[in-house]
Amino acid sequence: MISTRSCIACRSRESSTALLHLVVRAGEILPDPLHMMGGRGAWLHPRRHCFDVARQRRSFGRAFKTSEELSTERLELYLDHGTMS
């Protein structure tokens, strides 16, 4: 059975296979396309528009329950190029 999750940006509900799983490691938001990383996660449509909306609304801090400034560099690389490096 495929679970349903909500995009932190547009708030629409989708199957977890249609959304990109995100996790935080050492103050950086990392994409987890295989949904394998543990810990608190968030879900985002894998498109630049939803990323921009999430950043504008400060959705990342709320989703990860932190007031710490989180780096989005590798997430942006993944969204723009399909890779983290």
List, in order of start, the domains of the chain with CATH numbers. Answer: 4-81 (3.30.1230.10)
pLDDT at 83 over 80: no
CB 70 within 8 A of CB 64: yes
pLDDT in tens, 44-77: 999 999 999 999 999 999 999 999 999 999 999 9
CB 71 within 8 A of CB 35: no
User: Which residues have C-beta within 8 Å of that of residue 16, sequence separation ≥ 6?
Assistant: 2, 3, 4, 5, 35, 43
pLDDT in tens, 11-39: 999 999 999 999 999 999 999 999 999 98
